[in-house]
């Protein structure tokens, strides 16, 4: 068994909404985890795979995406450390989308059968896992709204707000500054825009002094106005206080 301290961020996140007993923690830690580094842009899962493991993001960033026929890509979510990237594979036999690294990082893998056994024997863990997939769902719903009914400026502002809020909640923010793992091309793929237009919107957000963003580093200069531009409310994130 690997040193299980790498699970601490997960327990910290889950602990905010539910009290986990020592037995719960023990049960998860004693699973046969394997920890592996990954490179930027490497695929963690490909659409159509039936992976035997579940993967937990420990360091770095990843996204889920789908490719449409003409080769265009739509990113459907972005993941930060302490999040599972494919919990649905515990039950659904075949992956309906790909998971790709946005940066270098590290992930933990655990056989899904073993994870499901622990989830069934320890209801709090099972609930925490289910809960995580429900949050994913809620974020997907908000993304449908984002690409379906907001203009380019709002879409980008909203996505920036979401990432900042989620990173803040995980202690990954530093006084309004955040690692921003998306290139402009990927930001475009997440918002349903083109890279060119994304670039122009970012320039406008910078000119209006809402954000400063260059080379993977984001600073939110005016939270309140950025929120308004993005019509952002964190209700859908269901974050514990």
Q: Which does 239 bind (CB under 5 to 8 A by kind): DNA, a second copy, none?
A: none
Q: How far apart are CA 120 and CA 118, in angstroms?
A: 5
Report which secondary-structure segment, H or E, holds 223: helix 223-230
CA distances from 151 to 45, 174, 229, 235 (A): 31, 29, 10, 21
Positions in 143-172 near DNA (CB under 7 A)? 151-153
Phi-psi region of 163 (alpha: psi -120 to 50; beta: other; left: phi over 0): alpha
| Of 18, 74, 177, 199, the one binding DNA by CB under 7 A | 199
- DSSP run (H or E) holding 190: helix 184-191
Smaller CB separation from DNA, 56 or 205: 205
Query: Which entry of DNA, a second copy, none binds 194, CB below 5 to 8 A by partner kind?
Result: DNA
Nearer to a second copy, 77 or 100 (CB): 77
**Residue among 88, 133, 183, 228 that touches DNA (CB under 7 A):** 183
| 194 is a site residue for DNA (CB under 7 A) | yes
- Listed residue (95, 97, 84) closest to 51, CA to CA: 95
How many C-beta neighbours within 10 Å does residue 101 have? 22
The nearer residue to DNA, 13 or 155, going by C-beta atoms, is 155
Q: Which is nearer to a second copy, 36 or 52 (CB)?
A: 52
200 binds, among a second copy, DNA, none (CB under 5 to 8 A by kind): DNA
Binding residues for DNA, per CB under 7 A?
151-153, 183-185, 192-197, 199-200, 202-203, 214-215
């Amino acid at each position: 068994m690997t040193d299980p301290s790498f699970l601490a961020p997960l327990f910290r996140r889950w602990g905010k909404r539910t009290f986990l007993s020592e037995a719960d923690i023990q049960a998860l830690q004693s699973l046969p985890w394997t920890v592996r580094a990954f490179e930027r842009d490497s695929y963690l899962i490909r659409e159509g795979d039936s992976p035997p493991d579940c993967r937990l993001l420990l360091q770095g960033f990843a996204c889920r995406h789908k490719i449409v026929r003409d080769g265009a890509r739509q990113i459907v979510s972005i993941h930060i450390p302490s999040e599972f990237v494919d919990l649905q594979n515990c039950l659904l036999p075949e992956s309906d989308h790909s998971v790709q690294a946005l940066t270098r990082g590290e992930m933990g893998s655990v056989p899904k059968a073993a994870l499901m056994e622990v989830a069934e024997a320890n209801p709090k863990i099972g609930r925490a896992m289910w809960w995580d997939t429900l949050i994913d769902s809620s974020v997907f719903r908000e993304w449908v709204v984002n690409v379906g009914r907001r203009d380019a400026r709002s879409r980008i502002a909203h996505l920036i707000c979401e990432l900042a809020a989620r990173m803040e909640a995980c202690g990954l923010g530093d006084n309004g500054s955040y690692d921003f793992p998306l290139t402009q091309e990927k930001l475009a793929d997440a918002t349903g825009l083109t890279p060119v237009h994304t670039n122009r919107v970012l320039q406008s957000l910078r000119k209006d002094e809402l954000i400063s963003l260059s080379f993977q580093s984001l600073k939110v200069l005016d939270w309140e106005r950025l929120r308004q531009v993005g019509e952002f409310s964190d209700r859908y994130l269901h974050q514990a206080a």
